[in-house]
C-alpha cells in the first residue's frame, strides 16, 4: 500500500491537491477532511443563488464524498474539524461534528488547505443577525433565507473580492 496523505480542507485547494496526488500516486491512501458539509462547490457561483439564477443552492455543489470515492478513490469526510496536529506522533486529532466524537488519524504526509476566515471588523452592530459573511454554500443559504423571510430590498456589501463584484452585478 502507498503512503497515507491527509488533506485538511475539501474545497478548491484541498480537492485540487487530492486530485493531483491521485494522478501522481495511484496507490496512495488519500483522505480529505472538510469542516463544512460540502466538498468542491462553486465558490464563484454563490452570488447567483441570491439572484435566483441558481434556484437550488445544492446545484452549487459540484462533487460529494461518494463521487470522490467512486471516481478517484479519494475518501472525502465532511463535517470533520481538525482540532490538533500531533507532529511528534504524525497524527491529527479530528472532531466528527455529527457524531460529536473525537478521534486520531495517522499520516505519512499532511497538507493544510483550510481556506480563509472572513474578517469581521470591530464595528458597532457587527454581530447583529442581519450581518453576514459569505464563504460557502451554507453561508449563502442562510443569507438568502434571511433576505426572503424579512423581505429585504436593499443590502450593503462590504469587501472587495471577486464574490463581492459578482454580487454587485446581480
**Measured CA distances, 167 to 44, 70, 89 (Å):** 10, 35, 45
Give the CA diameter of the chain. Answer: 57
Question: Is the pLDDT confidence value at 170 over 60?
Answer: no
What pLDDT, in 10s, does the model give residues 111-123? 999 988 888 889 9
Residues 94 and 102 sit within 8 Å (Cβ to Cβ): yes
* Banded pLDDT at 169 (limits 50, 70, 90): low
- Predicted TM-score of the model (pTM): 0.83
Alpha helices in 6-76 (DSSP H): 12-24, 46-51, 65-72
CATH architecture of 4-112: 3-Layer(bba) Sandwich (3.50)
Domain ranges in the chain are 4-112
The pLDDT assigned to 161 comes to: 61
How do 61-63 and 74-77 pair as beta strands?
A: unpaired
Whether 44 is catalytic is: yes
Active-site residue identified among 44, 53, 131, 170: 44
Which of 72, 10, 65, 2 shows the shortest CA–CA distance to 35?
A: 10
**49 or 166: whose pLDDT is higher?**
49
Whole-angstrom Cα distance, residue 157 to residue 132? 10
Amino acid at each position: 500500500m502507498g503512503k497515507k496523505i491527509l488533506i485538511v480542507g475539501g474545497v478548491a485547494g484541498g480537492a485540487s491537491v487530492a486530485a493531483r496526488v491521485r494522478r501522481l500516486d495511484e496507490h496512495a491512501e488519500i483522505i480529505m477532511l472538510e469542516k463544512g458539509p460540502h466538498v468542491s462547490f462553486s465558490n464563484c457561483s454563490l452570488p447567483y443563488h441570491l439572484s435566483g439564477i441558481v434556484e437550488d443552492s445544492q446545484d452549487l455543489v459540484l462533487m460529494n464524498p461518494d463521487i470522490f470515492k467512486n471516481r478517484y478513490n479519494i475518501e472525502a469526510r465532511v463535517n470533520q474539524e481538525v482540532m490538533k496536529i500531533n507532529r511528534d506522533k504524525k497524527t491529527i486529532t479530528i472532531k466528527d461534528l455529527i457524531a460529536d466524537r473525537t478521534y486520531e488519524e495517522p499520516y505519512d504526509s499532511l497538507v493544510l488547505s483550510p481556506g480563509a476566515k472572513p474578517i469581521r471588523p470591530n464595528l458597532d452592530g457587527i454581530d447583529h443577525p442581519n450581518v453576514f459573511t459569505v464563504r460557502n454554500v451554507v453561508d449563502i443559504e442562510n443569507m438568502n433565507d434571511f433576505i426572503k423571510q424579512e423581505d429585504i430590498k436593499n443590502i450593503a456589501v462590504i469587501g472587495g473580492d471577486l464574490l463581492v463584484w459578482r454580487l454587485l452585478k446581480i
